[in-house]
Structure 1
Amino acid sequence: MSNAVVPAIINVDVEGPVISRHLYGHFAEHLGRCIYGGFYVGEDSDLPNAGGIRLDVVDALRALNIPNLRWPGGCFADEYHWMDGIGPKDQRPSMVNTHWGNVEENNHFGTHEFMALCELLGAEPYISGNVGSGTVKEMSDWVEYLTREGDSPMVRLRKANGRDKPWRVRFWGLGNETWGCGGNMTAQHYADEARRYGTYCRDHGDNKLYRIAAGANTDDYAWTETLMKTLGSLGCAYRPQPFYQALSLHYYTVPGTWQDKGDATVFDTGDYYATMVQAARIDELLTGHSNVMDCYDPGKKVGLVLDEWGTWWNVEPGTNPGFLYQQNTLRDALVAGLHFDVFHRHADRLVMANIAQTVNVLQAMILTDPDCGALVLTPTYHVFEMNKGHQDAASLRVDVPSGVPAREVGPARLETVSVSASRKDGRVLVSMSNLDAAEAVDVELDLRGGTVADVRSRILTAEKLQAHNTPETPGAVAPRPHEQVTATATGLRVHLPAHSFVTVEARLA
């Protein structure tokens, strides 16, 4: 039986909005073993480290061209007081992490350690400030401490702690989830707070802040509208007020209930399709919030930042329920591939996205074994690596005139083929997912406006959707060369096996 064929038209000479590299951002919270035991093992560790920062983790993330890292939370950000995390480690006061496991936090990983980590990674820092339990002065002082030159109280304090020159820190979050763990505020109350905090978070020298207001949860479009009203008038195309330059959005893929989210590795085909329906909803949400923003900002000067996204499962049996440690299967990788295709289509408004989280928490890139110290790259990691050529590339529109295959999943309709494309430096990169659990499909790429040469393709798949990587089988789900790509009169024909993610890269001749 022959496979279904999906014709897809790509005009390689018609460039769309640039796909910001920051759509491939990451998130590191003081949660479980993300920081301690993940990024930071301490200077006395037997594992190779630089100032306590685990170097094999750094090397793995540098291979992704990691563009930015969000820290210290998450919910933790709104109980974190940054001055507790500077100075000699043995003099730093401890605190209780009430959100995540009720464990004691010794503050050995603080501002200087985070900035050293970002320098090792070659990533821009994205700092979430404390609006929930902090003060305007506290956040204003943090900005000054990090970014001001010359002489001032915070500059003198920074120098006393061993750093003469300021850092460059553009991205600042004005709180986190202020509708929930960040203060349980109303939209209007938070909008007023964001104006206040945004006013006193100053630009110092040539360090121009990009202030990100704590935006909506899922489909709370009224929250987005309230924040946009604060910046300007309905239909006004003038420059928005400068209190903040972007709004955030949080959305997790949770096919179960909040109390029982489902198992990361034990699931059936029905569970899989339910997951993909929830993952595909990200397009609806980005469209909805963008439409609200367009009413107040048709010039698209205000950015949308999806700074928490990913799958959320029940924790692995035997682990602390407050540490949110979960395995990562081929299913998670396909969720990531689908998200990126949607992100690329929204590149005119979406300026940053941060998967939750980077190491040992939720949909992580990396899992580290607390007993043997082994580092495992997850299937999701490989999607990031295979897609890194899209960073700062011009998006290319993909048209499928005849439509794509779809499955009915309860009351929902799931399109089972997803494609996105971009071009940069004379090369084109096409990413394709076949979300069907059982049926293969061929995608016929009609590449108009140019011809391709030096075609290279890779595939990420496994026999079972539940396949995942462990210290014993680190390559169970890993990319490999994909040979089932053939030239046609108008472009390329690409075979997509069931439940697979494929990239095709070629030089434009």
Structure 2
Amino acid sequence: MIKKTILALSIAASGAAFAQVSVTIDAAKPGPVINKNIYGQFAEHLGTGIYEGMWVGPESKVPNTKGWRNDVVGALKDLHVPLVRWPGGCFADEYHWRDGIGPRDKRPVKVNTNWGGVEESNAVGTHEFFDLAEQLGAEVYVNGNLGTGSNQEMAEWLEYMTSDSKSTLAELRRKNGHEKPWKVDYFAVGNEAWGCGGEMSPQHYAQLYKTATVFLKTPPAVRPKFIASGGNDNDTTWSDELSKIKNKIDGISFHYYTIPTGVWEKKGAATGFAEDQWISTVKNTLKMDDHIKVNAAVMDKNDPQKKIGLFVDEWGTWYDVEPGTNTGFLFQQNSLRDAVVAALNFNIFHAHADRVRMTNIAQMVNVLQAMILT
């Protein structure tokens, strides 16, 4: 055991004063290991988060590797991004993976009904996403389509990605340019089933999840960790219901966004905000600690061995969009306030590392609390 006495400087309104503080470090009692995927990222088909922000295509004059911008990929590599979640978000439950394979000029063009009503070219699909992950040296988290998809569609996507057999789907992957199967580290069954993923009850979703995972098969050596779509904020009903599932569940997702005003319809500005919104933003982001505590408590009751992780796969600041930009693109300027929010949240995640084994800040590029603005 190591015991040190340090001096801390506290600044009072009347001037500076010194206070003596004792800190005890017991090296014989280490805490839980912090999973590297706590620093994970999230890339959704939303605004210029992928198209233009990261993807320009192989024929672009912008320097790129296999269509991905060299400058952006280089900046992300400097961050040592450990994991990327894709393709959504709300977009995931309207995404059909077969639209994103084969020659890009023959892929169907759809409308992104969730984000801005813009055309979705499907230029970025499964092969392109794995190219990005390989360039970053990152693990992959693929979000399946439970909303408008089917168990068969998700099962066939997993087979396409992971099979080393001579099956028709594995051969189709080879025909499309990738001989060896990919490793899918995490696979989620739907997203925000309580909202844009179908407005379901926890009980209804839990049954759909159990049914789906019966059919989600891969070679045993490359079985992904399966993630159930959980709740948000201080709602524990999802964590309670889903942590009772005994088979094929490795994590329960959880979402919480920091909003300065606490009012969804008028969130507050990203810049030019008054001191009170500095304070309210910090106050509201610290609620993450209580939200994790209450969800972890119900999981401890149902899963005392802590086999199931709580994956905060969407978090960050969410402000009113920048004036003059598409409201569906969620573009916001970042500032020092966002850096403080990130630091506070990482401190909370570290403190709960026994349950929180993955988080994904929203989002990587040009969307919400983005790492990079282009």
- Normalising TM by the smaller chain, what interval? over 0.9
Task: Show the counterpart of 1:99.
Answer: 114
Residue 351 (structure 1) aligned to one of 334, 341, 357: 357
Distance 1:206 1:315, change over 3 A: same
Displacement, 1:14?
3.5
Task: Show the counterpart of 2:162.
Answer: 147
Residue 251 (structure 2) aligned to one of 239, 246, 256: 246
**Structure 1 residues 199-237: Cα deviation after superposition (integer angstroms, max 9, x where no partner):** 2111324102200000012111112111123x1xxxxxx
Task: Show the counterpart of 1:167.
Answer: 182
Task: Show the counterpart of 2:55.
Answer: 40
Task: Show the counterpart of 1:476.
Answer: none
Superposition pairs for residues 356-395 of structure 1, below 5 Å?
A: 356-368=362-374
Q: Distance in 2 between matches of 1:277 and 1:11?
A: 31
- TM-score, normalization by structure 2: 0.94
Superposition pairs for residues 43-192 of structure 1, below 5 Å?
A: 43-192=58-207
Q: Distance in 1 between matches of 2:316 and 2:18?
A: 30
Task: Show the counterpart of 1:300.
Answer: 306
Is it true that 1:309 corresponds to 2:315 in the alignment?
A: yes
**Structure 1 residues 385-441: Cα deviation after superposition (integer angstroms, max 9, x where no partner):** xxxxxxxxxxxxxxxxxxxxxxxxxxxxxxxxxxxxxxxxxxxxxxxxxxxxxxxxx
Task: Show the counterpart of 1:445.
Answer: none
**Structure 1 residues 275-312: Cα deviation after superposition (integer angstroms, max 9, x where no partner):** 11100000001111000000011110111100000000
**Structure 1 residues 462-506: Cα deviation after superposition (integer angstroms, max 9, x where no partner):** xxxxxxxxxxxxxxxxxxxxxxxxxxxxxxxxxxxxxxxxxxxxx
Displacement, 1:4?
5.9
Displacement, 1:151?
1.3
Is it true that 1:264 corresponds to 2:270 in the alignment?
A: yes
Q: Distance in 2 between matches of 1:50 and 1:270?
A: 45
Displacement, 1:8?
4.1
Task: Show the counterpart of 1:225.
Answer: 240
Does the 8 Å CA contact 1:149/1:205 hold for their aligned counterparts?
Answer: no
The code of the aligned residue for 1:249 comes to F
Q: Distance in 2 between matches of 1:309 and 1:10?
A: 31
Q: What SS does the corresponding residue of 2:373 show, helix, strand or coil?
A: strand
Task: Show the counterpart of 1:329.
Answer: 335
Superposition pairs for residues 196-207 of structure 1, below 5 Å?
A: 196-207=211-222
Q: What SS does the corresponding residue of 2:222 show, helix, strand or coil?
A: coil
**Structure 1 residues 69-96: Cα deviation after superposition (integer angstroms, max 9, x where no partner):** 0000000000000000000001101111
Task: Show the counterpart of 2:42.
Answer: 27
Q: What SS does the corresponding residue of 1:247 show, helix, strand or coil?
A: strand
Task: Show the counterpart of 2:16.
Answer: 2
- TM-score, normalization by structure 1: 0.69
Task: Show the counterpart of 1:280.
Answer: 286
**Structure 1 residues 226-272: Cα deviation after superposition (integer angstroms, max 9, x where no partner):** 1123x1xxxxxxxxx22321100000001221111000011111111
Q: Distance in 2 between matches of 1:68 and 1:159?
A: 25
Task: Show the counterpart of 1:255.
Answer: 260
Distance 1:4 1:263, change over 3 A: farther
Structure 2 segments unaligned to the other structure (5+ residues): 1-14
Displacement, 1:44?
2.3
Q: What SS does the corresponding residue of 1:308 show, helix, strand or coil?
A: strand
Task: Show the counterpart of 1:507.
Answer: none
Displacement, 1:336?
0.4
The code of the aligned residue for 1:137 comes to Q
Q: Distance in 2 between matches of 1:149 and 1:273?
A: 54
RMSD across aligned positions (CA) = 1.2
The code of the aligned residue for 2:250 comes to Q
Task: Show the counterpart of 2:6.
Answer: none
Displacement, 1:39?
1.4
Q: Distance in 2 between matches of 1:162 and 1:346?
A: 42
Task: Show the counterpart of 2:3.
Answer: none
**Structure 1 residues 318-345: Cα deviation after superposition (integer angstroms, max 9, x where no partner):** 1000000000010110000000011001
Q: Distance in 1 between matches of 2:281 and 2:153?
A: 41
The code of the aligned residue for 1:79 comes to E
Q: Distance in 2 between matches of 1:13 and 1:323?
A: 49
Does the 8 Å CA contact 1:148/1:205 hold for their aligned counterparts?
Answer: no
Q: What SS does the corresponding residue of 1:220 show, helix, strand or coil?
A: coil
Displacement, 1:62?
1.1
Displacement, 1:11?
3.4
Displacement, 1:2?
1.9
Task: Show the counterpart of 2:230.
Answer: 215
Does the 8 Å CA contact 1:280/1:338 hold for their aligned counterparts?
Answer: yes
Structure 1 segments unaligned to the other structure (5+ residues): 232-240, 369-509
Q: Distance in 1 between matches of 2:249 and 2:109?
A: 32
Q: Distance in 2 between matches of 1:7 and 1:318?
A: 52
Q: What SS does the corresponding residue of 2:328 show, helix, strand or coil?
A: coil
> Larger strand proportion, structure 1 or 2?
1
> Larger helix proportion, structure 1 or 2?
2
Q: Distance in 2 between matches of 1:255 and 1:70?
A: 26
Q: What SS does the corresponding residue of 1:69 show, helix, strand or coil?
A: strand
